[in-house]
Structure 1
Amino acid sequence: MTTDTLLKRITDYARRPNPYPLYAELREAGPVVRQADGSYLVGTYHEINALLHDPRISADPRSRPAPAPDPSTEEPQLPFLRLDDPEHHRLRTLAMRPFGPPHSPGRIDAMRGQITELTEELIDMLGDRTRIDIVDDFAYPLPVTVICRLLGVPREDEPRFREWSDAIVASADVSTENDTTERDRAGRQARADMGRYLVDLAEQRRGNPSDDMLSAFVNEPDPAMRLTREELAETAVLLLIAGHETTVNLITNGVLTLLRHPDQLDRLRKDPGLLPGAVEELLRYEPPVHMRERVPLADIDIAGFTLPKGATLVLVLASGNRDPKRFHEPDRFDPTRSDNQHLGFGGGIHLCYGGPLARLEAQIALGALIPRLGTATLIQDPPPYRHNAMLRGPRHLPIEVHEAT
């Protein structure tokens, strides 16, 4: 096989359980590898990191040359995740405002007690069951409940936005398919429906605020710091999806990795103080986000290659996390790894907005699960994976918990 089919092979669902040999092939082929469809893959750590911090690299898909758009497919407002500065900075700043001042403990750290309480409730609900699906029984309900409380979304409405979320995430996936029209249409419709739902919910709190982010957005006293209705819709949708999608994968991949490495599981059980470092290592070793699409705003020379203006650029973050030129024994899971400047949350101005919350939830969740995992075994390995290649994680993770002997 030739290297110009790497992206097609990486996104092939059959490769979802273990894309890492393909990432090694990508790194060996060079820092930059052109694909048959004209896109460019970058899989080496230093080049990815440089491009993430390069202001000539755009996150806005509208930066890519294209035929005149069909008005029915135009998106009047994009989430700040897909915008460039200065608009990205403005909207991200407004979205972060309800969390509290920068570098202060803020709202997220104040939720530690609530997250711990929710985690304990989920553990209690597992009871003495011997068969558990880590995703459905634990890794999904925990972050969904947390983000619902943070935003002020009734937990009973969760089934509605799970369907919306699945469609939105599918439309954001990296794809080599020639026709993604239906997928993209479904994603736009889901975003519009979820946005209307969240804006309507927020409007109910105008003048009658609760202690939640939707209330903070619509009751902002400073006119210069208020979001428009369209900005509120896209920002709330982004927060709801980003607030749980990556965390589900982080927790699930964490359990899967620990069960595959019983020596490290036992180490963490004996020394829970290693858990923060273990979560950082999981973000490197089995990250929840594997790649990001970008667009060069100019011809960019990097590592002896020229990335042409307007090309589709795919930064394979998970490949960079396994780059032996940056990490010693990168294919080894080591919870005590030092100098672990991974790409698990991206980098640059688009460093993951929800990273601090995901870290906190993963530390608390895994800390509560680890005592139960000592007698657990995987029922299916590899487990069934979600179809998304960009946000990679098991769709289910069935385990069996045996009685201690």
Structure 2
Amino acid sequence: MSAADPSRPAVSFPDALSSRERWLEPFGWYREMRADSPVRYDTDRELWDVFRYDDVKHVLDTDAVFSADPSTAEFGDEVADGEGEPPPVFDTMLFADPPEHDRLRGVVSDFFTPRAISNQADRIRELTEGYVDDLDAEFDLVSELAYPMPVDVIAELLGVPTDDRAQFKRWSDTVIERPDATTEAAMEAFQQRQQETQREMSEYFSQLIDARRAEPRDDLITAIIEAEVDGQRLTERELIGFCTLLLVAGNITTTNLITNAMRCFTSQPELLDEFRADETKLSTAIEEALRYRSPVQAVFRVTAESTTLGGREIPAGEGVVAWLGSANRDERAFDRADEFVVDRQPNQHLSFGYGTHYCLGAPLARLEAKLALRSLLDRFETVEPVDTDLQPIRSSFIYGVEEYPLRGHQPGE
């Protein structure tokens, strides 16, 4: 679905972004790196970092050199189980290169075409308006709308109970978690949380898969079970991995897209009236929010062979972090790159990736964000942030805030 990447979580976060303030606003550091170290090797993390737009795009678009499969080198140990087995999500398209990637993606691609997603618009609007109608004058955008609405949508598509959304959030938060690896005990605790979460998800979806085999329904889980690829059906691990990927990736990116977009919009409150008057402007502004505060800041790859990038020689088997958030602020690719330009066109941001692994769920995320933000504008004449210290999501690659308190005023107040 998205670029969410749980491999190598313990070491993929640079010290320069470890503070709350720096991860809330990492863009100054990106600018320094683009100027001084556009392709660099971090000896502490034993990883390569790539910061400029053209170089990041090359990494994303060159599967034969920059592999999405962490098994091409010894990565992902931190989330393996007690027997060293990686979680089932590693058996999905997210961690596969062509032609295996194309085989797996083909299982669900028809469900996420723009046409198929547009058929869901009425139901998504209904869910969204239900949450917006329940908002008080002061509310937390994340917990009261930006999280529950997308998770309800993907849960309904999959065919899993929406009443389990609190459990889904706990699982999602754990999967994307960046650990405190300053002590061995902290690292062990992190590994235990990861392993327990993976076990819980596997058991949960295994039971649902058994239930659908016994009693098929008109849902995505049934479709995945019945799908045949090259005359064969998916294995149990592949089925569980697909369900896990779709659930987690299906809500994490959209939650933070909605929240990050409102952070952009409330910094220029005059925009809200413009969006009410012209829905096309809202769509264009969402694209700029994707560029300006990308929900996914980085993706991980492994070099399948030695290569040269940005004048640096990178050996085979090395971990590479491609910083989407930096590429999207590259002044070589975007005029006024550090400004939120609401009517920016064209806008060739990399927030949904590029090439083979371009986000399958991009049409769904865009539709959900547009409907959520439009519903807020219909409910409230003005929306302003409540003064508070924002806390960034504790992740190495997902960018957003844990809460975003807002105050809305209805017409006539």
Same fold (TM over 0.5): yes
2:38 is aligned with 1:31: yes
Q: Let me know the Cα RMSD of the aligned residues.
A: 2.6
- Alpha-carbon separation, structure 2, partners of 1:71 and 1:118: 40
CA distance 1:125–1:357, shift in 2 (3 Å): same
2:106 counterpart (93, 112, 125): 93
Task: Judge conservation of contact 2:40–2:48 (CA < 8 Å) in 1.
Answer: yes
Output the CA distance in 1 between the equivalents of 2:181 and 2:273: 41
Out of 352, 359, 376, the residue aligned to residue 369 of structure 1 is 376
Alignment match, 1:192: 199
1:119 aligns with 2:128: yes
1:40 and 2:48 correspond: yes
Given the two structures, how large is their TM-score scaled by the length of structure 2?
A: 0.88
Tell me, in whole angstroms, the C-alpha distance in 2 between the residues paired with 1:312 and 1:291: 13
Instruction: Indicate the SS of the match to 2:352.
Output: coil
Contact 1:288–1:392 (Cα < 8 Å) also in 2: yes
Q: For residue 181 of structure 1, report the CA deviation from its aligned partner.
A: 4.3
- Hey, which bits of structure 1, 4+ residues long, moved more than 3 A? 11-14, 65-71, 173-182, 219-223, 371-374, 402-405
1:362 and 1:104 mapped to 2: Cα distance? 14
Residues 253 and 295 in structure 2, CA contact (< 8 A), matched pair in contact too: yes
Instruction: Tell me the residue number matched to 2:61.
Output: 53
Change (3 A) 1:110 1:66: closer
Instruction: Pick one of 230, 237, 253 that aligns with 2:237.
Output: 230
Alignment of 1:98-177 (within 5 A): 99=111, 105-106=115-116, 108-126=117-135, 129-170=136-177, 173=178
**Equivalence for 2:391:** 384
Count, aligned residues: 393
Q: Say if 2:300 is the partner of 1:289.
A: no
Alignment equivalent of 2:225, drawn from 215, 218, 221: 218
Structure having greater relative contact order (Cα 8 Å, sep ≥ 6) = 2
Deviation at 1:51, TM superposition (A): 1.1
In structure 1, what residue type is equivalent to 2:61? Answer: H
- Does residue 1:72 correspond to 2:83, yes or no? yes
Which residue type is aligned with residue 266 of structure 1?
D
Identity score, percent: 34
In the alignment, structure 2 segments of 5+ residues that lack a partner are 1-11
Corresponding residue SS for 1:40: strand
Q: Determine whether 1:251 maps to 2:258.
A: yes
- Structure 1: state its 5+ residue gaps: none
Assess if the C-alpha contact under 8 Å between 1:345 and 1:355 holds in 2. Answer: yes
Compared CA separation, residues 358 and 231, structure 1 to 2 (3 A): same
Match of 2:395, SS state, is: coil
Check conservation: 1:203, 1:218, Cα contact below 8 A.
Answer: no
Deviation sequence 1:179-199 (CA, Å, 0-9, x none): 644423422331232122122
Taking structure 1 as the reference length, the TM-score comes to 0.89
Question: Where does residue 97 of structure 2 map in the other structure?
Answer: 84
Pairing 1:260–2:267 present: yes
Amino acid at match of 2:98: D
Contact 2:103/2:229 (8 A) holds in 1: no
Summarize deviations over 1:134-169 as a string: whole Å, max 9, x none: 011111111011011000001112222222222212
Q: Give the 3-state SS of the residue equivalent to 1:292 in structure 2.
A: strand
Compared with structure 1, are the counterparts of its residues 178 and 234 closer, same or farther at alpha carbon in structure 2 (3 Å cutoff)?
A: farther
Letter aligned with residue 232 of structure 1: L
Comparing 345-354 with 204-213, greater Cα deviation is found at 204-213
1:216-252 Cα distance to aligned partner (Å, 9 max, x none): 1223477825211110000100000011011000001
Q: 1:303 to 1:137 in 2, by over 3 A?
A: same
CA–CA distance in 2 between the matches of 1:262 and 1:66? Answer: 45
Task: Identify the residue that residue 19 of structure 2 maps to in structure 1.
Answer: 12
Q: 1:355 to 1:110 in 2, by over 3 A?
A: same
Q: The residue matched to 1:115 in structure 2 has which SS?
A: helix
Helix, strand or coil at the partner of 2:213: coil
Out of 49, 62, 65, which is 2:71 matched to?
A: 62
